[in-house]
Amino acid sequence: MNPLLQDVGAVTAPLVELYKDLHRHPELSFQEHRTAGIVAERLTALGLEVITGIGGTGVAGIVRNGEGPTVLLRADMDALPVLEDTGLDYASTDRGVDPEGVEVPLMHACGHDVHIVSLLGATQLLVQRTVDWSGTLVVVFQPAEEAGGGAQAMVADGLFDRIPAPDIVLGQHVAPAPAGIVGVHPGPAFAGADSFAVRMFGRGGHGSRPETTVDPVVMAAATVMRLQTLVSRHIAGSDTAVVTVGQLHAGTKSNIIPDEATLGISVRSTDPEVRSTVIEGIHRIAKAEALASGADREPQIVAQESFPVLVNDVDATARTVGAFRAAFGEQRVIDPGAVTGSEDVGVLSTAAGVPLVYWLLGGVDAERFGAATLAGTVERDIPSNHSPHFAPLIQPTLDTGVAALTVAALEWFARP
């Protein structure tokens, strides 16, 4: 084992309480003020050059350690409007206000608290043992990954004018896989994502006299069902696409037919032609259902968040996987295949014009995962990201997260 990795446990042990604190106090996209303050304070205490307020609440830290490559390690910081139901003694009960002004529950339901603490731990390890590497370390704590705009906001705010130009961008995401496992897939690894708000206009009235109205609830319901045919009837079985309606808002009372209904739609795809087919289909179906319902107005369709396909550089991935296998052993390093989740970290590597390697980090008790696998109940019994029950196992997840970032950084500090 690399001598530096022998110190992982000593670094992560005191970080467990920080992890619990961050989990108790999640913050929405572009509202990560408390989290960013804690990160900046920790980086300053480690002696880094610290830059705050990048793209709103983004934080960057720099360690200059002689000649050599510049390695950028990235973590995201934001949480979700989810009501936590994990039963943890450090579960979040915090609430916040979303961009529409609505009060919502808050939860780190996607594990960004794991990402923050893992990167802080890896930074501490690398700072403590600068004798083991040479070059420039840049750590980036990004806001608003969930909103799809955080990485672009940092780039637009001059991130790469404020930090040394990186030679590689590295990062990780905790996932519902056995803790201790690292999963890396070369090439297109995470789907692109697009979301849309579809506002459908009817004509409201009394629930007892629907014949005098144009019912937007029926219009919206028909649209939801018809949208499910986009993947099943318009996309080839060999292609990948997901269409999810995650929001449907209409009405105020059971005996009032409202004037309008709104759908929130999420699309995942890995191929530009498939993406175009699905998006065109959303417009066509929404307009057709409005026409079929006798609506006086066409729906208003507004594009919202957009994530590009995350593409892991093939050669850089092979090199990083080799380092992982040497450090963790063959059994702990897997290729999970491409996933339909999305990530905006690729915006950073694309803007810098450098390779990206981004991997999955297991966060589930291995015995529990194994039992669910044998029973064929993984999807039922193992909560996924964005679930109110999502609760990464603290250890060995943090140890592996810190070690993986450190191993990858050391590999790229070593000249080939």
Domain boundaries, the chain: 3-190+309-413, 192-306
Q: What is the mean pLDDT of residues 16-24?
A: 98
Query: What are the distances in angstroms from CA 397 to CA 181, 250, 260, 360?
Result: 9, 42, 46, 11
Using one digit for the tens of pLDDT, what is the confidence trace for 34-62?
999 999 999 999 999 999 999 999 999 99
Please report, in angstroms and rounded to a whole number, the separation of the first and last CA atoms in the chain.
20
With beta carbons less than 8 A apart as the criterion, state whether 112 and 34 touch. no
| Portion of the chain with pLDDT greater than 90, in percent | 95
User: How is residue 171 written in tokens?
Assistant: 């990062």
Tell me the backbone φ, ψ of residue 174, rounded to 5 degrees: -70, 145
Query: What are the distances in angstroms from CA 147 to CA 30, 188, 192, 317, 375?
Result: 9, 21, 13, 27, 36
Cα(133)–Cα(65) distance, integer angstroms: 8
Cα(261)–Cα(226) distance, integer angstroms: 16
Buried b (16+ CB within 10 A) or exposed e, 332-365: bbbebebbebbbbbbbbbebbebbbbbbbbbbbb
| Portion of the chain with pLDDT greater than 70, in percent | 99
Q: What is the mean pLDDT of residues 198-207?
A: 97
Q: What pLDDT, on a 0 to 100 scale, did the predictor assign at position 416?
A: 60
CATH fold of 192-306 reads Alpha-Beta Plaits (3.30.70)
Q: Per the residue annotation, which of 27, 32, 78, 194 is the catalytic one?
A: 78
Q: Is 110 within any annotated ligand binding site?
A: yes
User: How is residue 247 written in tokens?
Assistant: 């929001």
Query: What are the distances in angstroms from CA 323 to CA 108, 177, 184, 389?
Result: 30, 21, 12, 33
Which alpha helices (H) appear in 228-260, and where do they start and end? 229-234
With beta carbons less than 8 A apart as the criterion, state whether 112 and 77 touch. yes
| Total-model pTM | 0.90
275 pLDDT higher than 70: yes
Using one digit for the tens of pLDDT, what is the confidence trace for 157-200?
999 999 999 999 999 999 999 999 999 999 999 999 999 999 99
Cα(65)–Cα(318) distance, integer angstroms: 26
Nearest-5° Cα angle at 342, 340 to 346: 130
Cα(221)–Cα(248) distance, integer angstroms: 9
Question: Looking at 2-16, 129-143, 285-299, 377-391, which range is the least confident one?
Answer: 2-16
Q: Is 173 within any annotated ligand binding site?
A: yes
- Tokens 């005996």: give the residue: 255
User: Is CATH 3.40.630.10 the right assignment for the domain spanning 3-190+309-413?
Assistant: yes
- Tokens 């995470």: give the residue: 190
Q: What is the mean pLDDT of residues 319-337?
A: 96
Query: What are the distances in angstroms from CA 348 to CA 32, 140, 155, 274, 415?
Result: 19, 10, 7, 24, 22
Q: What is the mean pLDDT of residues 7-30?
A: 97
Whether cis (ω within 30° of 0) applies to the bond prior to 388 is no
With beta carbons less than 8 A apart as the criterion, state whether 166 and 267 touch. no
9 pLDDT higher than 90: yes
Whether cis (ω within 30° of 0) applies to the bond prior to 355 is no
What SS3 class is residue 335? coil
Nearest-5° Cα angle at 118, 409 to 90: 175
Q: Is 211 a catalytic residue?
A: no
| Best CA proximity match to 261, nearest among 253, 249, 276, 246 | 249
AA letter at 129: R
Q: Is 78 a catalytic residue?
A: yes
Q: What pLDDT, on a 0 to 100 scale, did the predictor assign at position 415?
A: 65
Q: Per the residue annotation, which of 145, 167, 194, 344 is the catalytic one?
A: 145
Paired strand residues for 206 = 256
